[in-house]
Structure 1
């Protein structure tokens, strides 16, 4: 199954320039005759293997970092995408942070700090399940949350949302200038599909824990959320920090697009294993001579002598 199908789908989701962005131009379900669920599953498996290889190089090279943000309405599949796409990565080089409502200590901080404190170091992939964009989404729709942030009154004005978006865009530009790859995924779900998934969570006892009363209440703000997402993407989409508006009504399609976007981003920086210096090569040669000079034969790998009992 050719990878170019996934590449075409991913390209259609990528938003680099937000000026004329309209969420209505992006479907929640892709219609394609040359890809089915079985084909997508195979491509996903191949993609996860390729992503694992690239992560190993990223970690070894220790130059760039990759920062991934997931945003979505409830039940859009963020947890599932993270689980299926990043399942093959080495945990030493990957960190996932899921952000809930801020506590008292975090409410005394500036609005981006709790996310900044958990940014990935060089060589790492950092994944934020919800991000600083919550501050221009849920906070924008619920003024009581903004009140709990105890901001001085002179900085709270109708312009605060545009100002926060301006600050986010500037900080993401700063991160890119420090060698960090910034990727933002909005899993674009339809209200009909969300309703169906909520009903599944009610009908299946093992899924009951996933549904909160507040999830149903937030559906009443659906249109306002879509407008807030559109404003956020329009203000912050950039070539160095693109958004991917991913159709989320089909989970298999969502996961395929996310893994392909990750692969393309890592292939773009082309990480390599470090090359040995002359001094390093000399030290390796000396170490080899010392090991080979030891008495007794060296057992072959896989032989009984090398197996752990």
Structure 2
């Protein structure tokens, strides 16, 4: 199955309305992909180990989306089997007073992974050109300036061999409302409910416009966006997992050769073993 239909590269004329949030790319149900999903998780574990061992590249995975789009859930599901020593997840809420005194990239830049590491951002520096724009904290001109800075920032990361993989988890307003109601009615999910979610729903159209502009202005061939239909959680997880594995495998990561001193010691051990046998 080809997931390129969700990939947004440089110069794309994006319209989110053209993407069906309930699309599953012809897959009828999650049972159909269970075996492939297990294989993909194994491949992800192997690629993460190669990434950690080689230290030739880093991988930054950015998740953006409306409230209830499943940013926490997809991170929990996709990365559940990898070595935590080489992976970090970061969630970015409202900036603290200290963070607000710095440039808008400062707080997120500190969490960018080093080569050999993977990091997932639950929301990111894009918020500074999205929620701020929708609520009028910044105007359109400043938003475009920030998006230009973001594109340069991601170009810089790519030049340092930090791959940037960006996912927009695309849901419908009906799906979001269903999830908000579930949070309100289920005592075990009250902790997830935030009254501000209902207020933010009033700005749905403005957010869609802001996301379209942000994606169009920052999608490059090196750092494309992926608009993932997310009304079906199982397909959302599968699409993200498969895309991530395929992008890691494109790096052609390999285990490093032993250092010269290690190679010498290995030869000494071999010679010693041969002497004992003789």
> Are 1:67 and 1:119, in contact at CA under 8 Å, matched by a contact in 2?
yes
What does the per-residue CA deviation read over 1:223-271, in whole Å, with 9 as the maximum and x for residues that have no partner? 0000000000000001111101000000000000000111111111011
Indicate yes or no: 2:232 matched with 1:250. Answer: yes
Structure 1 residue 36, shift from structure 2 partner: 1.8
Q: Which residue of 2 aligns with 1:209?
A: 191
Q: Structure 1 residues 83 and 137 mapped into 2: Cα distance closer, same or farther (>3 Å)? A: same
CA distance in 1, matches of 2:215, 2:268: 56
Contact persistence 2:133–2:139 (CA under 8 A)? no
| Deviating more after overlay: 21-30 vs 67-76 | 21-30
Taking structure 1 as the reference length, the TM-score comes to 0.85
Structure 1 residues 104 and 19, CA, compared in 2 at 3 Å: closer, same or farther?
same
| Length-normalised TM-score, structure 2 | 0.94
1:182-208: CA deviations, max 9, x gaps? 100000000000011111112211111
Work out whether residues 19 and 235 of structure 1, in 8 Å CA contact, stay in contact via their aligned partners in 2: no
Given the superposition, is the C-alpha separation of residues 42 and 113 from structure 1 closer, same or farther in structure 2, using an over 3 Å criterion? same
Offset at residue 35 of structure 1 (A) = 4.1
Please list, as runs of the form range in 1=range in 2, the aligned pairs for 1:98-113 lying within 5 A after superposition.
98-113=91-106
Tell me if 1:193 matches 2:175. Answer: yes
CA distance in 2, matches of 1:34, 1:248: 14
C-alpha distance in structure 2 between counterparts of 1:98 and 1:112, whole Å: 14
CA contact (8 A) 1:18 1:233 kept: no
Structure 1 residues without counterparts, runs of 5 or longer: 147-155, 295-309
| Contact 1:62-1:122 within 8 A present in 2 as well | yes
- What's the CA shift for 1:284? 1.7
Structure 1, 60-69 or 196-205: larger mean CA deviation? 196-205
1:26 offset after TM fit, Å? 1.5
Larger Rg: 1
RMSD (CA atoms): 1.8
Cα deviation for residue 280 of structure 1 reads 3.1
1:168 to 137, 145, 150: 150
Map residues 10-89 of structure 1 onto 2, 5 A cutoff.
Answer: 10-89=3-82
Residue 69 of structure 2: SS of its match in structure 1? coil
